Amino acid sequence: MLFHHSLALRRIFPFPHLYAGKGLRMPNSRATSRSLSPKTLSSVTGSDGAEKTPVGVRVRRDSARRIVEVAMDVPSGEAPVPVFDRLPDIEEFEYNPVKACESSTSGTTDILDTKRVKTISIKSKVTSIGQMEMPANWEMVLDGIKKMRFSGNAPVDSKGCEKAGSFLPPKERRFAVLVSSLLSSQTKDEVNHGAMQRLSEKGLVDAAAIVETDEATIAKLIYPVGFYLRKAKYMKKVAEVCLNKYGGDIPNSLDDLLSLPGIGPKMAYLVMNVAWRNVQGICVDTHVHRICNRLGWVSRPGAMQKTRSPEETRVCLQKWLPKEEWDPINPLLVGFGQTVCTPLRPKCNICTVNNLCPSAFKESPKPTPKSMKKQKLSKES
């Protein structure tokens, strides 16, 4: 029996003389133990404040917390006290104004809390008014964007949906705005404007005329708007409903607009704002959605994370943005997104509010002296 036991030991440790007097030690891995640094070992003290010499250290990890157990030379009859170094749960990173104030004044904030407070000071400093939370410096940012948009050189300024049928009588213009909004989804303003011009030349901004025209002709005229075949079908259905139910006019309520084929929240709010001068909500498209998230104006409920959809952005934005800004915010931010805060490689170097934007230069490189000199020479020429 002893012979078999010694053979087993030799299989595990083929060179026992290397381990003599050193104790057995398993290789380091995720599931095994590891030693703390000398600095950590030297900092271990007993309950009376005197330093104790650690005998061994074992670290056990799991997904929820990290436990460091230190075995020390202690008098007989006393058990070593485990030291817990627990990693915070993900919920603890959620912004809590009370905890943030306590952390900033106590002077005992650890490294993780310091990083959290630093992030909040940039992105999430808020001023509460009732149940609304208004981002810090939002008025300065909005004024800066308005000044940058003063030139009015963005495509939306001359070719946006609200420009459709501007020369028509009120009833026909409302229908033209509805059609233009329907075509605007996944389509640039320049392309949408061209499609509306071709429809106008053929007299197809009228519900009765669209009902009498086949889908193939409509699809050919509106091409290359996004999903032009599907939109041609929707145009026919919308025209039929408007003609039969509203006498060629369009619905004057948000719910009735949303019941039309192919009309979503963004289009419905835009039509209500432009056609009926009835502001019931903010029109949030891809530009407004992107820019509001870059500025830190919106976040998912209960978390400091970006909103996932334009509709989620609209709900969050309406909680704090004054209602007098609901109508102009769409063309303002759309034009800003078309000229400065573009989807790819935003022009942060020419943005006058980049010092107030938490996303500045994160998606575009910072200007180098060489690039600034080149830009200056190009302007002078």
Q: Is 74 helix (H, G, I), strand (E, B) or coil?
A: coil
Q: What is the dihedral of CA 329, 335, 338, 343, to 10 degrees?
A: -10
For residue 373, indicate whether it is catalytic: no
From CA 257, how far away is CA 186, in angstroms rounded? 19
From CA 345, how far away is CA 227, in angstroms rounded? 27
**Which residues neighbour 38 within 8 Å (Cβ) at sequence distance 6 or greater?**
none
The amino acid at residue 325 is: E
φ, ψ of residue 232 in degrees (nearest 5): -65, -40
The amino acid at residue 328 is: P
Residue from 266, 362, 374, 376 carrying the catalytic annotation: 266
**Which residues neighbour 356 within 8 Å (Cβ) at sequence distance 6 or greater?**
137, 140, 141, 144
* SS3 readout for 211-280: HCCCHHHHHHHHCCCCCHHHHHHHHHHHHHHHHHHHCCCCCCCHHHHHCCCCCCHHHHHHHHHHHCCCCC
Question: H or E element: which one contains 132?
Answer: strand 132-135
Q: Based on the number of CB atoms within 10 Å of its own CB, is 108 exposed (0-12), middle (13-18) or buried (19 or more)?
A: exposed
- Whether omega for the bond prior to residue 224 falls within 30 degrees of 0, making it cis, is yes
Angle between helices 228-246 and 170-184 (to 10 degrees): 150
Token pair, residue 187, equals 């389509």
Token pair, residue 343, equals 């989807």
Cβ proximity of 292 and 320 under 8 Å: no
In the sheet that holds 83-84, the strands lie side by side as 54-61, 66-72, 83-84
**Which residues neighbour 170 within 8 Å (Cβ) at sequence distance 6 or greater?**
none
**Residue where the block lists tokens 């699809």:** 219
**Residue where the block lists tokens 């106590």:** 106
| Enzyme catalytic residues | 266
